[in-house]
Structure 1
Amino acid sequence: MEAASASPSFDAFAWVEEALSSRSGDASALAPLVPQLALRSQTLAQTLHSSLQHVSLSGPALQTRLQTLQQAATPLSRRLDAVQEACASGSVSTASSAASDQDLRHLVTLHEAKRRLQSCSQALVEAARWGRNVRACFAAVEDPTLLSHALKGDSSKVKGRTGDSDAADNLAERVREMQTSLEVLKELPGAWDRKQTMERLCAQIEAAVQPRLATKLREDDLGDVAPLRWCLDVLGSVDRAHLLREEFGKARPAHVHRVWYSYTDEMQTEPDNKDDNAGEIFGNWLENFYTDVLRMLQRESRSARELFGADMVASVLLDLLHSTFEPLTKSFRDRLVHSSPSGSDFKLARLLHCFRATRGFASQTVQLFRSLETDLGVNLTGNDATTSAEGIRHIIFEPYRLYFTEYARFTSDALTDALLRLVPAFNAKNRSEEAEFEEEGQDSADVAPLEDFSQRLEEASEAVWELIDESLQQCYEFTGGAAFPEAVEAIGTAVQQFTLALSSTIPAIRKYCKAEPASPVEGATGGSLVASPDWSRFHASLALLKACGVLEAQLCTLDGRVRIRMREQLAQFLGEKSGSSSPRSRRKKSHDGTGISLVDLVDPTKLVAAVSKSWLRSEDPTRQSQFHQFEMELLDHSGSAGFDTPASRVPSATLLDEAQRAVWSWTKEVQLLTYDTVFLPITRGLETLPTNENWRKVPDEALGDLPTFSMLPQDYITMVADLLLSLLPQLEPFAESSSLESAFVASRGAQEVCVQGEWNRLGQLLHLSPAELATCQRIFGSDGKTAFTESAPTATATEFVDLWTGAVASGTLAAFLRTVCSIPLLSDMGAQQLAADLGYFHNVLSAVGGEGSFIIDDLRRALEMDVQAHIHHAEELRADQEDSEKQALAKINDCIAAMRQRALERHRLSTSSGSAAISSQFT
């Protein structure tokens, strides 16, 4: 029934009859509806009664009005009938028609005369009004007292000059009347003079009102805005209403500008402020300054509403924001770089401290604009909200835009300074020497300089990567992720400078370790053999190598951690809630230039992202492409094997790869240092090998056919063997310590780094091709048993020992071959001696992992041949052009066979010259 009764055509009786018929006359189901129907019946009866009573009362009045209308229409009906009869009648006389025409012309003439008289009357009225208004307006404008009192709102105080005061109060109305009069009188003589008078009056009004207006607007408290409304009305009458809004925006921030510039005076009067905390002082002061600005905006929003109207409040506040911060932009940037009178350098932490204050102020400003609707009844349309959001974003954060544009430079400089302060200094002077001057009984034992340097470097490495991690977090806080590519670039540059500073200590460390390539050897005189290396220096270099491994391992750990975090942050920056977005849609989001509203800026994270996106869109296309490439690699290829490498015993960085390359450059120098502490004594022992007199020895003819005994290895080769074999027990204790993992990480590629130079020198001497040179290096190469086993979960002590012994043995083999090939002459006895040395050296190489030394084996067999057989052997090797191994052996054998050939020819010449001398004596 409720649904049916809602219809305006509802018939209750018909509905009841239909309900009874559907129930075969059973009214029991309809019994509950009886009270409702009774109530509706009573309501309907009352309504009908009221309607009939109203009709009975209003009926006579309606009838009277109809009779009045009928009586008024009767004369009109008669006139229409007469006009119809006149138009229908065609028998009107010519005389009466001429009279009617003449009457009509007279009527038109009279009407025109009446119109002209009315026009003249109006012109006279307007001319009189013009004159009165001109006198009154000029009197008001030219009297400074009247304008001053009008601006103060107390014109009633001007005694005895009520008319003049009224003229000042009604100045805008009189100017509008003058403009009306000017339009009415424009066709009459004197129009040009009147126009000039009007222009002069407008100029005088503007000149008189504007300075007084500026003075009024610069008052700290405007109070009653009625005088300002009078100014707005007056300036609006001369089409200069915009001057008040412009002056309002310029003048009202005067107080906060004074507060801003008072900071410089305050800092100059407080010389106790140090540069270290000057940035924090300015950041705290900036928060208070923003509080003053916010109070000013809240106060002026009410004044703007009373003065300009509710619809103009948002735009006026935006102008006020622009006028407040635009003049301070340069000063703001200067204070971010130099926050004290002494001019401290730029620091990213100080920038972020200030940025947090600015971000908080921007959020409060957004809330202020959103509260305009509720507190002041301002109706912000969608366009107004978007314009306000864009204005807040642009105006408030403009001082920071420079640091976004040049983020890589500012960050790399600041980060480089911070990292360079962590570089430990190397002091080669042993501290125990300084302890001699201290009191007796004091413990003078101290850490050796290089071990101390390694320990401090290991301690500094953790601080280095904490700074790097903090730098990336600061980048996200400042840019929301928009400057991640520049942050990574800055990290690479800063770490490179850090490692270069570490590399600058290498010459002093080499001098301390006696590992300078061109340095004279202590204890070596007149070609005597070099003593064994100082194994304590070798152990110290291993400790430094371990510190390099710690540095690189911590870098790779940080890389994996920040890569995951940056992925989430970048997805949040692009507005992604899942990983389903395609690269094209993400790029569209990052470069979308559509406006944002105030609601989008409530969240501080979204606020920073919105600001950074606007900055990024205004950057050059190259930087935008770099950002797109970075986010595509980080978000799209993050799951590929090339980006997220699984846990490996040899860690690698994919995001901070430039930083890892910089660390690796330093590690290679430490590898060379560690290698040279053992290898350089070996090379110094081999330096005398080419000048050894044993290579030129010939059999003594006086001995005749006495039997010869097996030759023993010479001292130089036994010294080399002792050094190589003693390397094993020096490495094993270190390999079994807890330092193994870090040292193993820093030892990768040691053979290529340390040995390659010596093999290249051999290749230049013998003109070996790259393939031939690689074949020679294969004896201790990466495919041997000393190679890294990537599938193994951890490094083993055996692998570490084999790696370094193999590297030193490989370099020793190259140096030995080079010095052997530098022998000028090799006699048969010298060849036998060299074969004995090679046999001994072969055994030593086998002990340190060089079992497959095919070069030593071949040379030893060739030296046991005579010269011609040796030459033939070299030719046979050279015949196989496809085998790099045989070609390398052929060149080495050619070199040694040539030595033997030269020695043989020299022996023949000396023998023939001796025979000739003997024969000449007998003759």
Structure 2
Amino acid sequence: MPEHQNYHEKLGTLVTDRFGKSIQNQIQTLYQNVSSQGIRSSNESFSSSTIEVFVFELYSIYTDAFQNYSTYEQEQLTDALDAIQLDTNDTSSSIQLLVSSISNVFLLANESVDRCKQLTNGQTIISLLNVLQKFFTSYIGELKRVVNNIRERNTKILGNEDWELFQQTIRILEICGELILAYEQFESSLAQQLLQMINEWPNKSNKHKQHQDPFDVAIESFINKTSSSDKHDFVSITNALENATYSLFPDIPKLLSKFSDECHQFSFDAVFLPIHSLLNGFSKLPVWSSDNRGAIVADLPSFSLVPQENITKIGQYLLMLPQHFEPFNLHDNRQLGIAFKKGKLPYLEDKELYNDLTSCWLDSIALATMRLCIEQTLKIQTLSSTGLKQLIMDLQYLYSVLEDFGLKDVAGFRDVIELLNTAEETFEELARHKPARMATAIRTMRRL
């Protein structure tokens, strides 16, 4: 069996360390007696150089582990991550596995830090930071894979109204928040440990060495010569920790934010795609160009018309959203808040303007609905007089629903309705104050 495959057992063995400590205690006693008798170091039975030779021989079995520390630690963590089950064919079971994986992963990370401190007195910590960054990157990649699998399994459901799926996506968002909290706690703890390590490392001044246990000096020398220690980088990092924006793992916050974005997109799609399905093909409905209802119908006033069925379904669906967004009202749901802070909702430009998550979600869905409706409307090729009245009725209905939502940015929707509703002789004057693309499209469909 290759030596690196037995790495965990090698790190776990205490035989050499116990023997070394026993010898150290005996030498320390003898060294103190010799020093107390005022005998010069040149006459000491156990000189520092002799002790160093002994220590190098005693701990030589660790030379390979020290020199290839990052490689072995990477393999150790990779194997451990591979052993964690993250996915099944059942969505609920997969979500539960994701929940339990967070504590397992950070337990592995903490164990890795402990091994570094025990084996190399923390002097390979710079190499370990790179190892841990790769470890966390792999883990986040696995989480994304599982979430994508869940999405693919529910592709057919996404276009339909399914609030159970939405609840599952909320749970995924909570998992994302839990992961971010666990990572931030781990990084904060590790930063404190780094500061403690550098304070505990032996001072290299000759004055300090005179009062230091020669056995400890020899062990320190062995670690320095056999490991990939780089104290200059270590000191630079500990100094940089004073900067609040500094991260021990520069890539991870970005990956967590991107993961949160994808989780929010999944949850958003679970709510919005049913609306998208109802609006799909809205611009190609035959009612827009048809006058086959007859002259009597065409001459009826607009108030005699009612919104089309798909439009009323959208309105009713939107009005039901607040009750389904109740989980976002929970003030103690810290995980959802953290996930939202690190991620983003589609169509929501400035989330800092909002005081609660529910308002953010309602505006996100409402804005998406409004913009899709505008885009579909501007694709209409031609409007008959009846079609024009029906379109105005449909849009005014949705506009009133969006106003009930308290949607702040409805100017675009209002512009479309005004351009559709204005008389031919006042159109050009009004169009000067509206977006050019919008005015051109409506001028064309109205055949002005």
Q: So what's the TM-score if we normalise by structure 1?
A: 0.43
Residues 704/466 of structure 1: CA separation in 2 closer, same or farther (3 Å cut)? closer
Q: Could you tell me how far apart the structure 1 residues matched to 2:76 and 2:258 are?
A: 22
Query: CA offset at residue 494 of structure 1?
Result: 1.0
Q: Could you tell me how far apart the structure 2 residues matched to 1:403 and 1:847 are?
A: 67
Verify the 8 A CA contact 1:713 1:840 in the aligned structure 2: yes
Residues 657/458 of structure 1: CA separation in 2 closer, same or farther (3 Å cut)? farther
Verify the 8 A CA contact 2:52 2:218 in the aligned structure 1: no
Query: CA offset at residue 678 of structure 1?
Result: 1.0
Match of 2:283 in 1: 690
Match of 2:366 in 1: 809
Match of 1:540 in 2: 168
SS at match of 1:748: helix
User: What is the count of residue pairs matched by the alignment?
Assistant: 441
Gap regions ≥5 residues in structure 2: none
Equivalent residue letter for 2:183: L
Q: Does 1:755 align with 2:368?
A: no
Q: Does 1:351 align with 2:3?
A: no
Q: Does 1:730 align with 2:324?
A: yes
Q: Could you tell me how far apart the structure 2 residues matched to 1:745 and 1:659 are?
A: 15
Residues 472/858 of structure 1: CA separation in 2 closer, same or farther (3 Å cut)? same
Q: Which of residues 571, 589, 609 is equivalent to 2:199?
A: 571
Q: Could you tell me how far apart the structure 1 residues matched to 2:426 and 2:279 are?
A: 28
Q: Which of residues 413, 419, 427 is equivalent to 2:75?
A: 413
Query: CA offset at residue 861 of structure 1?
Result: 0.8
Q: Could you tell me how far apart the structure 2 residues matched to 1:838 and 1:403 are?
A: 71
Backbone CA RMSD of aligned residues = 3.7
- Higher relative contact order at CA 8 Å, sep ≥6: structure 1 or structure 2? 2
Match of 2:235 in 1: 631
Q: How does 1:265-664 map to 2 (within 5 A)?
A: 336-337=3-4, 345-347=5-7, 349-354=8-13, 356-364=14-22, 381=42, 385-428=47-90, 449-450=91-92, 452-512=93-153, 514=154, 516=155, 519=156, 533-573=161-201, 575=203, 600-603=213-216, 609-615=220-226, 624=230, 627-634=231-238, 636-642=239-245, 654-656=247-249, 658-664=251-257
Q: Does 1:900 align with 2:446?
A: yes
Verify the 8 A CA contact 2:260 2:342 in the aligned structure 1: no
Q: Which of residues 759, 772, 782 is equivalent to 2:351?
A: 782
Q: Does 1:666 align with 2:279?
A: no
Verify the 8 A CA contact 2:86 2:97 in the aligned structure 1: yes
Match of 1:832 in 2: 389
Residues 819/486 of structure 1: CA separation in 2 closer, same or farther (3 Å cut)? farther
Match of 1:125 in 2: none
Query: CA offset at residue 702 of structure 1?
Result: 4.2
Q: Could you tell me how far apart the structure 1 residues matched to 2:208 and 2:48 are?
A: 6
Equivalent residue letter for 2:62: Y
Equivalent residue letter for 1:502: L
Verify the 8 A CA contact 1:755 1:810 in the aligned structure 2: no
Q: How does 1:43-122 map to 2 (within 5 A)?
A: none
SS at match of 1:426: coil
Residues 895/399 of structure 1: CA separation in 2 closer, same or farther (3 Å cut)? farther
Q: Could you tell me how far apart the structure 2 residues matched to 1:607 and 1:810 are?
A: 68
Verify the 8 A CA contact 2:86 2:146 in the aligned structure 1: no
Residues 849/485 of structure 1: CA separation in 2 closer, same or farther (3 Å cut)? farther
Equivalent residue letter for 2:403: S
SS at match of 2:380: coil
Q: Deviations over 1:529-572 (max 9, x none)?
A: x75x1111211221222122222212222222232222111221
Q: Could you tell me how far apart the structure 2 residues matched to 1:367 and 1:705 are?
A: 105
Equivalent residue letter for 1:602: F
Verify the 8 A CA contact 1:696 1:825 in the aligned structure 2: yes
Verify the 8 A CA contact 1:426 1:509 in the aligned structure 2: no
Query: CA offset at residue 717 of structure 1?
Result: 2.2
Q: Could you tell me how far apart the structure 2 residues matched to 1:891 and 1:393 are?
A: 80
The structure with more radius of gyration:
1
Residues 640/511 of structure 1: CA separation in 2 closer, same or farther (3 Å cut)? closer
Q: Deviations over 1:46-72 (max 9, x none)?
A: xxxxxxxxxxxxxxxxxxxxxxxxxxx
Verify the 8 A CA contact 1:821 1:896 in the aligned structure 2: yes
Residues 749/811 of structure 1: CA separation in 2 closer, same or farther (3 Å cut)? farther
SS at match of 2:337: helix
Query: CA offset at residue 705 of structure 1?
Result: 8.6
Q: Deviations over 1:155-187 (max 9, x none)?
A: xxxxxxxxxxxxxxxxxxxxxxxxxxxxxxxxx
Q: Could you tell me how far apart the structure 1 residues matched to 2:287 and 2:10 are?
A: 75
Q: Could you tell me how far apart the structure 2 residues matched to 1:719 and 1:840 are?
A: 11
* Identical-residue share of aligned pairs (%): 19
Gap regions ≥5 residues in structure 1: 1-333, 338-344, 429-448, 523-529, 576-588, 644-653, 757-776, 787-798, 878-885, 905-923
Verify the 8 A CA contact 1:492 1:658 in the aligned structure 2: yes
Q: Could you tell me how far apart the structure 2 residues matched to 1:609 and 1:809 are?
A: 64
Equivalent residue letter for 2:411: F
Verify the 8 A CA contact 1:475 1:483 in the aligned structure 2: yes
Q: Could you tell me how far apart the structure 1 residues matched to 2:26 and 2:352 are?
A: 71
Verify the 8 A CA contact 1:712 1:836 in the aligned structure 2: yes
Q: Deviations over 1:625-666 (max 9, x none)?
A: xx53443232x34444445xxxxxxxxxx3355444444443
Query: CA offset at residue 598 of structure 1?
Result: 11
Match of 1:740 in 2: 333
